[in-house]
């Protein structure tokens, strides 16, 4: 590691989903394709598979927008066996100053965490492994001392309990999501401490009312959920990335005083994730 790299090495710290993003980990979609259907979105696009060249161009544009907005973008190496590797959010997550490496549910993705661990060691960054149950970072949404964790096909109660044990100063809240939903961030995301985007049909009535009491909500339709209406990425307070196709959601955000940067990600979303899924924040101010 060079002297400059040492000086720039981030200290992991993420207390929210919307603070100024300073350091983030991505992975280029060099080998991205739908090989084995593991979610409903992939099933839809199976006969119109991912154009890898277009996906790489879109990801390059995504990284440029981040860098143009002052974000230090770091990349883990893409490896041919791992066609889902672009979704770095799933393989790890940061809560406060603790970086966790996920325990993946699907065998097709378990090798990605090994690559992440090797990369973190090269960067001199410490982390904790989740060893109980299974959990993926797409199911983890941080709001200060409150952490929402979605119970999905990928994340279970055992993992939630381990997170709570390791972070006793946090309130870790498990939220059951509809069985066909991939991750919590596909149906719920925070824009700021008083504003959330959510897909109401993904939750039971009790959890839905809990969200509505805590946040003003921009509620999206089934079609908007399919096209990743909640899967925005905040890069600063009241500034975020969103898909240009989600016109109604973007307009609702702008009415709330949010700067919306529209980036085409049409190839990336074919595998079931968008901007939040493609980013592993290490540090937010």
Determine the Cα–Cα distance for residues 247 and 223; give it in Å rounded to an integer: 12
Q: What is the pLDDT of residue 106?
A: 84
Distance (Å, rounded) from C-alpha 165 to C-alpha 225? 33
Q: 5: pLDDT confidence band, cut at 50, 70 and 90? A: very low
Cα 244 to Cα 184: distance, rounded to the nearest angstrom: 22
For residue 270, the model assigns a pLDDT of: 86
21 lies in a domain?
yes
Contact status, residue 186 vs residue 231, Cβ threshold 8 Å: yes
The predicted structure's pLDDT at residue 41? 54
14, 23, 59, 183: the active-site residue: 183
Tell me if residue 277 is catalytic: yes
Across residues 32-61, what is the average pLDDT? 71
Inside any domain, residue 128: yes
Distance CA 22, CA 281 (A): 8
The verdict on residue 183 lying in a domain is yes
User: Does residue 49 register a pLDDT over 70?
Assistant: no
7 in a structural domain: no
Nearest by Cα to 112 from 142, 145, 86, 149: 86
In percent, the amount of the chain with pLDDT more than 70 equals 91
pLDDT digits (tens, 9 = 90+) for 76-120: 999 999 999 999 999 999 999 999 999 998 887 899 999 999 999
The predicted model gives 206-217 an average pLDDT of 98
DSSP string, 51-107: -HHHHHHHHHHHHHHHHHTT-EEEEPPP-TT-TTTT-TTTTEEEEBTEEEEPB-SSH
Residue 5 lies in a domain: no
Alpha-helical (H) ranges within 91-204 are 107-123, 157-166
Helix (H, G, I), strand (E, B) or coil at 150: strand
In whole angstroms, give the CA distance from residue 45 to residue 160: 32
CATH code for position 214: 3.75.10.10
Is 14 marked active-site?
no
Catalytic residue (one of 27, 94, 277, 278): 277
Burial of 144 (0-12, 13-18, 19+ CB in 10 A): exposed
Q: How confident is the model at residue 43 (pLDDT cuts 50, 70, 90)?
A: low
What domain range is 111 assigned to? Answer: 12-284
**Structural domain total, the chain:** 1
Say what the pLDDT of residue 272 is: 78
Compute the mean pLDDT over every residue in the chain, rounded to the nearest whole number.
92
Looking at the DSSP assignment, which residues form a beta bridge with residue 128?
100
Residue 241: closest CA among 73, 54, 100, 126: 73
Q: Which pLDDT tens digit goes with each residue over 13-37?
A: 999 999 999 999 999 999 987 555 5
Sheet containing 140-143: order of strands = 140-143, 146-151, 171-176
What pLDDT shows up at residue 3? Answer: 37
Q: Is 2 a member of any domain?
A: no
Asked, for residue 248, whether it belongs to a domain, the answer is yes
**Biggest distance spanned by C-alpha atoms of the chain:** 53
Task: Give the helix/strand (H/E) hosting 224.
Answer: helix 222-226
Provide the CB-side half-sphere exposure for 68 (13 A, CA): 9
Q: Give pLDDT, residue 117.
A: 97
């Amino acid at each position: 590691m060079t002297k400059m790299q040492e000086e720039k090495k981030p200290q992991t710290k993420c207390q929210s989903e919307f603070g100024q993003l300073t350091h983030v980990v991505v992975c280029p979609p060099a080998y991205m394709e739908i090989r084995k259907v593991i979610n409903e979105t992939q099933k839809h696009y199976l006969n119109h598979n991912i154009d890898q060249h277009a996906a790489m161009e879109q990801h390059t544009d995504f990284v440029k927008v981040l860098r143009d907005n002052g974000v230090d973008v770091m990349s883990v190496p893409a490896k041919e066996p791992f066609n889902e590797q672009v979704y770095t959010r799933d393989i790890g997550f940061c809560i406060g100053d603790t970086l966790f490496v996920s325990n993946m549910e699907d065998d097709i993705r378990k090798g990605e965490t090994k690559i992440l661990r090797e990369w973190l060691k090269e960067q001199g960054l410490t982390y904790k492994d989740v060893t109980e149950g299974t959990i993926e970072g797409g199911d983890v949404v941080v709001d200060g001392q409150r952490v929402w964790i979605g119970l999905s096909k990928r994340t279970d109660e055992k993992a939630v309990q381990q997170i709570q044990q390791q972070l006793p100063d946090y309130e870790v809240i498990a939220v059951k999501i509809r069985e066909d939903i991939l991750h919590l961030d596909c149906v719920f995301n925070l824009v700021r401490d008083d504003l959330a985007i959510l897909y109401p049909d993904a939750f039971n009535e009790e959890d839905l009312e809990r969200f509505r009491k805590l946040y003003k909500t921009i509620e999206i339709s089934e079609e908007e959920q399919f096209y990743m209406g909640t899967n925005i990425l905040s890069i600063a307070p009241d500034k975020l990335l969103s898909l240009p196709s989600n016109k109604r959601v973007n307009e609702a955000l702008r009415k709330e005083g949010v700067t919306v940067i529209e980036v085409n990600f049409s190839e990336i979303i074919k595998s079931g994730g968008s901007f939040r899924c493609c980013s592993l924040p290490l540090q937010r101010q």
